[in-house]
Amino acid sequence: MLAVAEVNYIRYEVNQKGESYASVSRKTGIDARTVKKYANQEDFEVKKPQCRKAPVMDPVKPILDEWLNEDSKKKRKYRRTAKRLFQQLVEDHDFKGSERSVRQYVSKRKKELKTMVDQAALPLESIPGTAQVDFGTAPFVYQSESMELPYLVMSFPFSNTFYFQVFPSENAECLLEGLQRMFHHMGGVPRTIRFDNFRPAVKKILGKGERKLTDVFERFVGHYGFHYEFCNPGKGNEKGHVEAMVKYVRNNFLLPECHIEDLDQFNETLWQKAEDDRDRSHYKKDAPIDTLYQEDCAQWLLLPEKSFDCVRYEVVKADKYGFITVDKKQYSSSPRFAGDKLTVAITYNSVIVLNEQHEAVVHHSRLYGVRRKSMVWQPYLDLLSRRPRAIKYTSIYDHFPEEWTRYLKACTEDEQKEALRLLGTLLKNDDFTLLNQALNDVSAQGHPSVDQIKHRFYSLVNNQEDYSTYTPQMSLPDMPDITRGLEHYDALYAKEGVEHE
């Protein structure tokens, strides 16, 4: 194609000066036929490229586009090959074209989709299927105590929607537990999630926008497959949508102080509150928020088959009493582990002591706030059964139900040994439910023996008939009242008004 200046010269020489085509051809070195063409050309508009019709491929291109979009939400190993897509077209749509045509189209579309992703420079607010995450704090009355608790908010800027959950801390286990709950409640995973530089997620901020992630967060990202972004240090406005939503959630759902006894039960009620809030129009787009949220949903990644185990493992050393320390809080293990190294599994709400076979030995509720020590007495009961007099120097009665405290105080030393051994055998995870019932049932006729309690306990375990006490048919003589326990021993060594040495 000739340059514009050459075309203008040809048209001037031929049309204005009357030169022949041959003469202009000799002057310019351009073929005479080309000179004639441009001298007489009238239409100089850019010709639109012609789109060749493909009667066989055109009807199935939208189908292939939909399949490729579906596969883009899955892990790479689960995506269909071009060959498999061709087979599906033949099987399901009676496709008559060639496999080569399908391969060429699929290859071209994959490159186009990749280019679109690589060149995307739109803010998250404009892209369906993206999210922002941040913590906020609000006042609560939790288990009758006034305190501030953090709540995790995941907002969806495109649709202006959100979900939120309340936790006892902003640690890694709470962050991942909250994200996972939201993913599974939503039934999908946002393609891109923007975070602040959370300590639970970011171990170190590197140059050029890079981050060194914590191990557990890196594994979490790998498990769910989303793309993460972090704000620049001190640039919280880069996640301005979720910051505004944190304030919106507090003002509309968490004030005045919510009264909570069971945090998990309270969190279950929050899903519906967030979903009911979608019954309004978007403040800018003049469209129902719920409709926009469905566009978010359509772009989410698929959930993996298994959920992520939001647990952190630590190896800690027990002290001489068998206590371990996790996050500056003390938890009991067992006297037999005194001085040993133990593996501990830590979740957002539990601390589980494991033995060498990685079996759970002791299960604690994780401590937050001012409380610093958690004691599970079952592993210590066998030791106490051999030293029952030491029981008064422990706080064991503070951990026992009232009926067991009364019973043990009324026991002789030998009975205390047997009762503590029984509790050490039957008590599981500090659950006294059946043991309390067994003790109450057999106490109706007075102070029971350990064997009676044991027999009644196993009757309850095996769902036998309600316990009925045995009433003797013979008449018995009246017996004098007796005083049980150890407190009356002093009376054996002293008479009224006489002191003993």
Q: Which amino acid, 193?
A: I
Q: What SS3 state is found at 431?
A: strand
441 in Cβ contact with 472 (< 8 Å): no
Q: What are residue 155's phi and psi, to 5 degrees?
A: -110, 155
Indicate the helix (H) or strand (E) that contains 132. strand 130-142
Enter the tokens of residue 471.
């009433």
Low pLDDT (below 50) residues in the chain: 120-122, 469-474, 500-501
pLDDT at res. 469: 46
d(CA 322, CA 373): 13
pTM value surpassing 0.75: no
pLDDT at res. 182: 98
d(CA 127, CA 131): 9
Q: What SS3 state is found at 95?
A: coil
Indicate the helix (H) or strand (E) that contains 268. helix 263-268
Q: Which amino acid, 186?
A: M
Give the residue among 324, 340, 484, 500 at the shortest CA–CA distance from 416.
484
353 in Cβ contact with 324 (< 8 Å): yes
> Tens digits of per-residue pLDDT, 64-121?
888 888 887 677 777 888 888 888 898 998 888 898 988 888 888 888 777 655 554 4
Give the residue among 160, 150, 131, 175 at the shortest CA–CA distance from 248.
160
pLDDT at res. 330: 95
d(CA 16, CA 28): 17
Residue 428 makes CB contacts below 8 A (sequence gap 6+) with 378
d(CA 59, CA 63): 8
- The four Cα atoms 472, 474, 475, 480 give a dihedral, to 10 degrees, of -50
d(CA 481, CA 414): 21
Enter the tokens of residue 188.
């999908």
d(CA 1, CA 33): 13
d(CA 466, CA 418): 25
Residue 85 makes CB contacts below 8 A (sequence gap 6+) with 64, 67, 102, 106
Q: What SS3 state is found at 116?
A: helix
d(CA 166, CA 261): 13
Q: What are residue 123's phi and psi, to 5 degrees?
A: -65, 155
Give the residue among 70, 31, 10 at the shortest CA–CA distance from 301.
70
d(CA 433, CA 424): 15
Give the residue among 66, 11, 52, 16 at the shortest CA–CA distance from 34.
11
d(CA 281, CA 293): 11
Give the residue among 319, 343, 348 at the shortest CA–CA distance from 332.
319
